[in-house]
Amino acid sequence: MIKVGIVGGTGYTGVELLRLLAQHPHVNVAAITSRSEAGIKVCDMYPNLRGHYDTLAFSEPDAKQLGAMDAVFFATPHGVAHTLAGELLDNGTRVIDLSADFRLRDANEWSRWYEQPHGAPALLGEAIYGLPEMHREKIKDARLIAVPGCYPTAVQLGYLPLLEAGLIDPQQLIADCKSGVTGAGRGAKVGSLLAEASESMKAYGASGHRHLPEISQGLKDISHASVGLTFVPHLTPMIRGIHATLYGQLTAEPGDLQALFEQRYADEPFVDVMPAGSHPETRSVKGINTCRLAVHRPGNGNTVVVLSVIDNLVKGASGQAIQNLNLMFGFDENMGLTAPALMP
- Per-residue pLDDT of 53-101, as tens digits, reads 999 999 999 999 999 999 999 999 899 999 999 999 999 999 999 999 9
Question: Per the domain annotation, does 79 fall within a domain?
Answer: yes
Same domain, yes or no: 157 and 102: no
Question: Per the domain annotation, does 171 fall within a domain?
Answer: yes
End-of-domain residue from the set 92, 126, 160: 126
Residue 193: predicted pLDDT: 81
Residue 251 has pLDDT above 90, yes or no: yes
Whole-number Å distance between alpha carbons of 153 and 169: 20
Residue 290: predicted pLDDT: 98
pLDDT band at 293 (very low <50, low <70, confident <90, very high): very high
88-134: pLDDT as tens digits: 999 999 999 999 999 999 999 999 999 999 999 999 999 999 999 99
Domains in the chain, number: 2
Residue 185 has pLDDT above 80, yes or no: no
Could you tell me what percent of the chain has a pLDDT over 90? 89
Same domain, yes or no: 173 and 308: yes
Same domain, yes or no: 114 and 159: no
2-51: pLDDT as tens digits: 999 999 988 899 999 999 999 999 999 999 998 888 889 999 999 999 99
Q: Which domain holds residue 184?
A: 150-312
Same domain, yes or no: 187 and 74: no
pLDDT band at 183 (very low <50, low <70, confident <90, very high): confident
Question: Per the domain annotation, does 77 fall within a domain?
Answer: yes
Cα dist from 333 to 122, 166, 267, 320, 327, whole Å: 30, 29, 12, 10, 6
202-244: pLDDT as tens digits: 999 999 999 999 999 999 999 999 999 999 999 999 999 999 9
Higher pLDDT, 289 or 8: 289
**Does 43 participate in catalysis according to the annotation?**
no
Same domain, yes or no: 79 and 223: no
CATH at 108: 3.40.50.720
The continuous run of DSSP H or E covering 295 comes out as: strand 291-296
Question: Per the domain annotation, does 113 fall within a domain?
Answer: yes
Same domain, yes or no: 195 and 274: yes
Number of H helices, E strands in the chain: 11, 14
Residue 307 has pLDDT above 80, yes or no: yes
pTM of structure: 0.96
Residue 186 has pLDDT above 80, yes or no: no
Question: Per the domain annotation, does 131 fall within a domain?
Answer: no
End-of-domain residue from the set 75, 93, 126: 126
Same domain, yes or no: 212 and 285: yes
Q: What is the mean pLDDT of the chain?
A: 95
Cα dist from 282 to 23, 26, 108, 151, 275, whole Å: 23, 30, 35, 13, 16
Same domain, yes or no: 158 and 294: yes
Lowest mean pLDDT among 76-80, 260-264, 265-269: 76-80
CATH at 248: 3.30.360.10
Burial zone of 270 (CB within 10 Å; 0-12 exposed, 13-18 middle, 19+ buried): buried
Question: Per the domain annotation, does 35 fall within a domain?
Answer: yes
Same domain, yes or no: 114 and 12: yes
Same domain, yes or no: 195 and 294: yes
Question: Per the domain annotation, does 187 fall within a domain?
Answer: yes
Residue 189: predicted pLDDT: 78
Whole-number Å distance between alpha carbons of 113 and 118: 11
Q: Which of 43, 150, 177, 291 is catalytic?
A: 150
Same domain, yes or no: 183 and 120: no
Residue 194: predicted pLDDT: 80
